[in-house]
Structure 1
């Protein structure tokens, strides 16, 4: 009768179990990756793209994250510097709640925004009203409130622009390609649906075909009577799973993205902290 070595059998059994377990883990991992890829493909197929431009913007948001990703992060607090070529600055602590696009800022310096109002400035948008205080006192002058409307809307939009480019009411037009500094960019024109008597801004996105990201874009500011293009260049930083344009600079340009005046305004975002549990009371007077 042949004698079996029990220890060898146990070791062999362990080896078989390890191989099976490893195969199962690998299979599950592959299945999970395939599921994620399949889900992305299915979502992409379920969207009815207006045109190639719309599809390129969608692919861009797959890299940066969408506004839904910001909503999951609930809110944000960060330090923001706005610096003009004469070295005058706005320096503020910005606080946003993404649901409703609520916006609040406490200014450490405000040399560019309402500089005529001396003292500590606080301003906000609570989803309905805009307000501003200097040293805790309400400022109700119409020109001050109009300035706050522009600043609160603009600061929020520049922060979340890439994630908001799939908002309803946006029109996309693919304009072809343009080579800038050796990169052959896809150009997508963005316009916004509005009442016929309301002029809206125009954007032209320069989408890098390698990274699928917007490296720069042209824009107008119709509300300030700026209809000639301004060129914005951006640098990204990944924070909590989303890509944010934490450094931006802009200057005058033509519609071919040629710089007219090599003098830049800078916008710098630092110390970003998501999901801070902000109380909506912060945004009320």
Structure 2
């Protein structure tokens, strides 16, 4: 009888301890919410989203977009020859753009169409100039645009220092050149955008083989703070490939100056009477 009493007490103790353990685990589970998918479920940023957010924070995207518009002087040399010299004015959300060239011709994007003024001005490369250089300027603020797709890459050397890279592609039907791609380089400490390799597929008709043979890269340099926001005032262009990264001599140079924020767009983006539309 004594033996059975001891056995009963032992079994009761084990059962009580098990119930106590289960209640403790249940309480822990109630106190500590678990994110699905390894921490990228509801309420948590994915690794690539967190990476993009860190770049936007480094470039003060929120402060940049609080301004209505921004203007800057731009001087472009490619192959040692002048390509464009003028003043760019654009809404900070990139939905309207105006380029006033030193030759007194103008390019205007009113949010839907591109116009060249005067009508007899040289339209060669007009649409390319309208969207390419403004995209390079505004790239840190457009990483999360609709239609963007990202893939985090490996570290790559830039100026003998490792930089985090990521590849940007676009969904079909995004913008003028959805077949373009970019490989961006960011400073691993500051999270600022320091370079972007790219191809130009505009006008290829969907055949990007030629563009894929000759990628280029822009290297952002000489950052200056304007109203607490960092801007690269010198862009150097080089050849680029997967194996070497940036290589060779400079093939192009862009100088940015007189960066000024505007509080109103006024009538800057209205189409002049003596203008013609530039179509694709």
Superposed pair shares fold, TM > 0.5: yes
Matches within 5 A, 1:56-205: 56-66=51-61, 68-99=62-93, 101-109=95-103, 120-133=104-117, 137-139=118-120, 144=123, 147-195=125-173, 199-205=178-184
- CA shift for structure 1 position 97: 2.1
Q: 1:76 to 1:131 in 2, by over 3 A?
A: same
Report the Cα distance in structure 2 between the residues aligned to 1:65 and 1:219, rounded to whole angstroms. 24
Give the CA deviation at 1:127: 0.9
Question: Which residue of the partner structure matches residue 47 of structure 2?
Answer: 52
Distance 1:229 1:54, change over 3 A: farther
What SS class does the counterpart of residue 237 from structure 1 fall into? strand
Residues of 2 paired with 1:273 and 1:248: CA distance?
A: 18
On the 8 A contact 1:218/1:257 being kept in 2, the answer is no
Change beyond 3 A, Cα 1:87–1:212: same
181 and 89 in structure 1: CA distance in 2 versus 1, 3 angstrom threshold: closer
Instruction: Give 1:232's aligned residue.
Output: 218
Q: Which region of structure 1 is more displaced relative to structure 2, 273-282 or 183-192?
A: 273-282
Query: Does the alignment pair 1:215 with 2:194?
Result: yes
Question: After superposition, what is the alpha-carbon deviation per residue over 1:138-172, rounded to whole angstroms, capped at 9, x for unaligned?
Answer: 2499xx2x732221111221111111112222111
Gaps of 5+ in 2: 1-40, 205-210, 273-280
Deviates more, 1:150-159 or 1:93-102: 93-102
Aligned positions, number: 223
Q: CA deviation at 1:48?
A: 5.0
Structure 1 residues 37-66: Cα deviation after superposition (integer angstroms, max 9, x where no partner): xxxxxxxx98754x4333222101111022
The 8 Å contact of residues 109 and 269 in structure 2, kept in 1 or not, is answered as no
Contact persistence 2:182–2:196 (CA under 8 A)? yes
Query: 2:258 and 2:218 mapped to 1: Cα distance?
Result: 22
Shift of 1:70: 2.8
Distance (whole Å) between structure 2 residues aligned to residue 147 and residue 74 of structure 1: 28
CA RMSD in angstroms, aligned pairs only: 2.7
Change (3 A) 1:55 1:283: same
2:105 and 2:121 in contact (8 A); partners too: no
**Partner SS, residue 151 of structure 1:** helix
How far is the alpha carbon of 1:80 from its aligned partner?
Answer: 0.8
Find the structure with the greater CA-based Rg. Answer: 2
Q: Please state how far the C-alpha of 1:85 moved relative to its aligned partner.
A: 2.9
Contiguous gaps of at least 5 residues in structure 1: 1-44, 110-119
1:206 to 2:185 alignment: yes
CA separation of 1:257 and 1:74: change in aligned 2, threshold 3 A: farther
Q: Under a length normalisation based on structure 2, what TM-score does the superposition of the two structures give?
A: 0.70
1:6 aligned residue: none
Aligned-partner Cα distance in 1 for 2:196–2:171: 19
